[in-house]
Structure 1
Amino acid sequence: MMSRGTRAMVFVLAMVLLTVRGQHSEARVTIENGVKSMVYLSPKIMQHPGSVSNKFYYDIEFPKGHIAIKSFNAEVVDETGSPVSLQETYLHHWVAVRYYQRKGVKNIKYNGNLGFHQSEYIIAGNDGVCNHGLSQFFGLGSETRKTSTYVPDPYGIEVGNPLEVPVGYEEKWLFNIHAIDTRGAVDVMGCTECRCKLYNVTYDEYGRPLNPNYKGGLFCCYDGTQCKVTNELESVTRNLYLKYTVKWVDWSESIVPVKVFIFDVTDTWQKTGIHDCLIEYKVEQSTTTNDYTSTRRSSVSFPSAGDVVYGAAHLHSGGIGSALYGEDGRIICSSKPIYGEGNSAGDEAGYIVGMTTCYPEPGSVKITEGEILTLESNYSSEKSHTGVMGLFYILVADSSLTMNHHVQIREETIVPVFVWGLAAFGLAILAAVVVAYRSRKRNEDGYMSIAT
């Protein structure tokens, strides 16, 4: 029989464990119209003015079992659970990657790379098309609060299927979260674009010297780097979290599985025959005064066939819009940025706070196997931009599986709330976007410009 002192110690330990647990799962599973929902918190992200956190967090909390994901939404919050403005912490990107870990192996820690060249860990990535670096199932950036991720009925992203897990392994999920603290930064937008001179960086995170022509991007704002801030600023450290909400249903034969495809406008396939996706690129400042649009395109051969269920682009500040075209020049999906106009979280002036999405009528947008698709990304070139991205996500379902299913489009609408007023640093970018938003026109190559 335990003594009173021992019982007290056990009680205190139990309370500590409950407290620690409470910092992760924010609530229990809720069910609405058959859809389950759970809110989680990532491990804490420690930041101080100008600091960069770009870590991998393994074995994150995630729904268990054989399920169909219906949506995956996220935002940065502080220790009180309050949303954090992009004007204070810029969410460069977050991605969620599925992987298989050999049973009995201890969880790996961040070591500068994914470390999946070992037999203990296997990446269970999406269906393409990039060979490396874009294996996530879910992921967005500053636009995360106002970009719908809902997968309409009867579709779902299938995960947790025990038949797909290699023998001796178990399915797990990881986060890569890239957050930049811009409080007191001497050049806020320069920090978010990872301009090397602001970080005083000439070597990458592996100690390799950077090309002198590389002016900014991921190689200059890796984990632990510091962007330049004003000298008089008090260094206040705080803990943040990525709050993520997953909605799902238990798997059943009535669900039509969809495949996740991610395209990158820097893909080299058209020139090399290899899907070497560079992920980022630079937009040069325009030397003319009558056109401030920088357009970049890439073409790839689509590896399978099916119906497009959903589509959305990922762009950085200065982005005008993006579109995915079929081989005949038809628009498969176009996606445009929603810019904030105020100071509140989710409406930050000068930042992309959402992206428009595509939910085609079922069966109305088809892609054939081997069809050459062209991705176009447009940015304002009134000023130069470093480290920009041009990604495009689509969900594709097997056409034959959809035919006998009753289809009900149930999209989660994320409505932007606009607050009048502009932050000074965002004015130039917004002005550039207004200039670039002009009437539709056809380019010489037959593609419709999405810079409208």
Structure 2
Amino acid sequence: MTLRFAWVLVTASLQFASGTVQRFSVFSDPIFLRPSEVHNRYVLPKALPEQIVKQFANQTMHVKSLQLDILLVNNTTGEKTPAPLYKTYNHHHGLMLGSHDDLMQMYKYAQGKDPFDPSLYPNQTDAFQVRELAHAQAHAHASVHGACMMKRRSFESLINSALPQAKRSSVTVFGGASGAEYRGTSSKLAGPYTYGVDSPEGFMALIHFINTHGAPESKKLWECPCTTDRNINISNGTIDGKVPVAFDCSEQLLQERNTACSLATYQGGYRCCEHGVFLTEAPHPRGPIQQIEAKFTFEFYAPDAPEVKSARRTMQPSCCDATQPKLEERSIFTGGNVEYDVPQCAPGTPPEQCEHVLSNIEFFDVSGDNASDSEEEFELVHAWGHQHVGGNGLELYKESTGELLCRTHPKYGAGKKAGDERGFVVGIPPCVWGPPPLKPPPRLRRSDHMRTVARYNSTQSHHGVMSLWFLTATPVKSQGAREEYLI
């Protein structure tokens, strides 16, 4: 079959927000899911609004925030309404911005591959295999050790495999393992800090959604249970005939014999949540089909806005994933297990004491560029901790000083309205640094050791949970440089 692609203008809205911040929205192509079915693929790239493309041709678009909404589309009337999580669950998503040709090249390359398995993208010599050769120098040179956490590594792997080296820096990535909480979590950066996008022309979304409509809450489809339809072959190391994302747990999880650390004991999670599978024992493939669209809304500065002159572009450090192995044992190919199981607390334990705590240490940033300076200093300007249902919070410490940098707590819904779904994580308020009255950004080096402490309620068991940090930082300016904050 020949892949045919028409680069059509996206239905979009463009408007002004407060001050000189402007806003526009774009919509993905629709996806169609039957009851309990999973979508876990990149969606066909689409064009950004023509006005945006012209406005930022050969220029940098300084983005202040990105918001996602999930919409259910009425198959008869075309009406679009926000989808509650008990109808459409956002397991995770990601977004790439770049040129027409680059996005299409990556889209074609990604077909048939697991979006979150970097081992399936083999062309990694220049960015990753060099670090493997430097494994023995890990303690002295943090920037040449190990694999980035999967939320960033998978995108880097796709970019490096699909595009020639000269084009790789032109693609900007948002999100990764961000999921259900994203609708109620602010990604807005304070002061002069921005997400920089060079000459954007189009966008490509990675969408991992689950049709949860009509499923009893007790089924916990959001935990991706391994049903009897999954063909788990322990001797071959496969699920449904394919090798899953490699298992790579921390020492603590291995000592606890965590069931998510081995195919032999695996019961549910990402590895049983591939594209096209059903998550109930009776999938009923002829059930009503759900039509879903993803709506992405950007806030940005116009090219001639006064804030652009002092704008400071940010980057996303590789830290942190609470499942990461020890620093000196980290695998070049996996970079952590990403998920783990929370065992139910022992019978008779007081409910207030039923809490599973996971802790680990890793570098602030493992750069994909082997030439990067491990002592390069950054300002941490935004952080939130990604957790699933049951999450009690994440803590981020600078290990050398014991300083608590950030503590986040999931917000749980109490009703039925989209954005307030009872029992679901509907937001995780971030830590934000910047100009007064905010606290000044903490300064961290790539080689700094960061400790993550992850807490989950264990009054009942949970499968495939995650404890990830989404950090945003910017390189520290040289001493004496003038710094202006424009809000």
**TM-score normalised by the chain length of structure 1:** 0.74
Indicate how the Cα distance of structure 1 residues 83 and 180 shifts in structure 2: closer, same or farther if over 3 A, else same: same
Instruction: Supply the distance in 2 between the matched residues of 1:147 and 1:129 (Cα, whole angstroms).
Output: 30
Instruction: Supply the distance in 2 between the matched residues of 1:342 and 1:318 (Cα, whole angstroms).
Output: 17
Indicate how the Cα distance of structure 1 residues 152 and 401 shifts in structure 2: closer, same or farther if over 3 A, else same: farther
**Letter of the aligned partner of 1:334 in structure 2?**
R
Matches within 5 A, 1:388-427: 388-400=465-477, 404-408=482-486, 410=487
CA positional deviation for 1:260: 1.2
| The one of 114, 118, 138 aligned to 2:175 | 138
Which is further off, 177-186 or 249-258?
249-258
CA positional deviation for 1:399: 2.9
Aligned to 2:170: none
Matches within 5 A, 1:116-127: 117=122
Instruction: Supply the distance in 1 between the matched residues of 2:271 and 2:105 (Cα, whole angstroms).
Output: 31
| The one of 406, 409, 412 aligned to 1:333 | 406
Which is further off, 375-384 or 399-408?
399-408
CA positional deviation for 1:173: 4.3
CA positional deviation for 1:271: 4.8
Aligned to 1:111: 112
Q: Does 1:151 align with 2:189?
A: yes
CA positional deviation for 1:98: 5.3
Structure 2 portions without partners, runs of 5+: 1-5, 74-78, 129-142, 153-172, 233-237, 245-261, 366-375
Aligned to 2:462: 385
Equivalent position SS for 1:287: coil
Instruction: Supply the distance in 2 between the matched residues of 1:184 and 1:176 (Cα, whole angstroms).
Output: 25
Indicate how the Cα distance of structure 1 residues 180 and 401 shifts in structure 2: closer, same or farther if over 3 A, else same: farther
Q: Does 1:312 align with 2:389?
A: no
CA positional deviation for 1:265: 0.9
Which whole-Å deviations, capped at 9, do the CAs of 1:310-345 have from their partners, x for residues lacking one? 111110000000011012111111111000001111
| The one of 32, 41, 53 aligned to 1:46 | 32
Equivalent position SS for 1:265: coil
CA positional deviation for 1:233: 11
Contact 1:185-1:230 within 8 A present in 2 as well: no
Contact 1:155-1:258 within 8 A present in 2 as well: yes
Instruction: Supply the distance in 1 between the matched residues of 2:71 and 2:228 (Cα, whole angstroms).
Output: 26
CA RMSD of aligned residues (A): 3.3
Aligned to 1:257: 313
Equivalent position SS for 2:314: strand
| The one of 292, 296, 303 aligned to 2:358 | 296
Aligned to 2:82: 83
Contact 2:64-2:301 within 8 A present in 1 as well: yes
CA positional deviation for 1:401: 6.2
Aligned to 1:25: 11
Instruction: Supply the distance in 1 between the matched residues of 2:276 and 2:392 (Cα, whole angstroms).
Output: 31
CA positional deviation for 1:356: 1.3
Indicate how the Cα distance of structure 1 residues 130 and 353 shifts in structure 2: closer, same or farther if over 3 A, else same: farther
Contact 2:72-2:80 within 8 A present in 1 as well: yes
CA positional deviation for 1:394: 1.4
Q: Does 1:350 align with 2:344?
A: no
| The one of 277, 281, 286 aligned to 1:225 | 277
Indicate how the Cα distance of structure 1 residues 194 and 71 shifts in structure 2: closer, same or farther if over 3 A, else same: same
Which whole-Å deviations, capped at 9, do the CAs of 1:94-117 have from their partners, x for residues lacking one? 112457765995951631235754
Indicate how the Cα distance of structure 1 residues 102 and 340 shifts in structure 2: closer, same or farther if over 3 A, else same: closer
Structure 1 portions without partners, runs of 5+: 1-16, 162-169, 411-452
CA positional deviation for 1:61: 4.0
Indicate how the Cα distance of structure 1 residues 106 and 190 shifts in structure 2: closer, same or farther if over 3 A, else same: closer
Equivalent position SS for 2:416: coil
Provide the aligned length of Structure 1 versus Structure 2.
377
Contact 1:185-1:229 within 8 A present in 2 as well: no
Contact 1:184-1:233 within 8 A present in 2 as well: no
Equivalent position SS for 1:77: strand
Instruction: Supply the distance in 2 between the matched residues of 1:88 and 1:193 (Cα, whole angstroms).
Output: 14
Equivalent position SS for 2:327: helix
CA positional deviation for 1:397: 2.1
CA positional deviation for 1:360: 2.4
CA positional deviation for 1:60: 4.0
Indicate how the Cα distance of structure 1 residues 384 and 25 shifts in structure 2: closer, same or farther if over 3 A, else same: same
**Letter of the aligned partner of 2:174 in structure 1?**
F
Which whole-Å deviations, capped at 9, do the CAs of 1:81-102 have from their partners, x for residues lacking one? 2101111111111112457765
